[in-house]
Structure 1
């Protein structure tokens, strides 16, 4: 769901800028060195317009700092349930933006973890898996332990992606009921397709893992809710539907306002940024190992980046003559001083910078 937001003129201008800086001297530093989610409402204080500035300050919320960027830079900024969250994902939570699949997968994974901790067995199928099930294009993986299957869970939930639109399916396994949530409103023909696909999936799953119990007598239904009236809030609605369904608070779904949707966007962004990650064991831009590769250190956070165009070229294009190399996140003061000191103590850096030439030069 990535999109290119720069026009041809901007691309040419940036290319010229990068090329013109190729002979600059680059200075580097050699230094070894929510309350319960889905249960209680998250209170979010409205941000001051002055906080959305490029310079930022160390007390500024990291969400606001990422929202202040002029474009997406595809930088890992958090790690949630083992998945990296990029700056573009947090920026997709700005008002009137469409949510990325990573936002949905990471937030719902967190939600499932919370409810599993409360004693329920809830399983999350990511949007690719659930969409493939509904479209009957799935492959059931080998299950080594047949003593426990997905159909022993209390609830299975997942996002169904259809025609550039997010919808939600929640399966109450013990009740043998499918709850389908379409932010724009549910249609009977679509619900019949989902029911048929799920019955086929369960039958194939049971045969694959050799489960002898009877096939469930599934039925499908929907829950009354406020309908989406725009082209960008379907993902936000799905996250709200999931939260309220699992907590049993369905009445409020009939009174969702635009203010509620904006509040939810900020709350989701803040929750994901609780996993704010200071990557040191790999390149902070591409998240791949840097060992054995040419690298360059940020003069502020002192993390090592690959000395390659994808990883640092845009940052190099913005530095001035005789200025130290500074990564994109440090340029917006993403890490406050306390975080930087703590993370550097926890993850001492031992990778040395090898070269001061520009990426691509031999």
Structure 2
């Protein structure tokens, strides 16, 4: 998605960019200029309100999930370990983008250091890949719990969960590293203006004065080979899960069993459906303004980290019960 989406706003900036490049000769500038959401500059203050709200909810919600799982021994199970990984990933992902985005909206603080831009790029894409991998791990946990419940604790032992977690983290770090190293080695001598509020991969690479097809091809290969395979694995897992559920004897049993994986299903949909929606808009919405693409893409990065703890808090009985217990105790 990142490989082609954010380049649309460049069209609106050509006069400014060209004049800047005519008057300034530089190679690998010391700073980049983040424009926020071009075309909606006058509305930046109003746009900041929902983004700030989502950030606050993401911070409070995910820290609450971490606190509840840590303090409740009955939640020390593979499903909740993976949920903690998801919470940490969401915290890093939102903190990588939203503070800088809000500083642009509120204080017009548009500059970002050259190296800091690529560091931000690495964290954004690395933790998006990690999140996708965590969903695969959660799908595996639900598959074993429903299709082979008697051996769940024997299969997903703590050492196995630790190894799966390590693989998920290393995969994200290793796969994204060449993406950023390739982007960093290009010469940047046209303009240092990035038409969005953070340093996404192709938005930066498109500023390079070189043939950057290698970066584009590698980014697409990561998209299809990593996220695509993750989606296939999740789909296969849930196909087997649904077959197992429908083979249960009573409707109540089927509903109760499905309820144990409904939260995971909701967060997967919140993660992947906006991605598909954005890709569809890009391909068929040729008359859609560039700022709309950028705005929707920012919502895509900001909304799941805020929604995930709410979904698990509302739909997971154990977490919901622990939350009510905490509030009741405090109220008493």
Same fold (TM over 0.5): no
> Which structure shows the bigger proportion of residues in strand conformation?
1
The higher radius of gyration belongs to 1
Shorter-chain TM range is under 0.3
Task: Give the TM-score normalised by structure 1.
Answer: 0.24
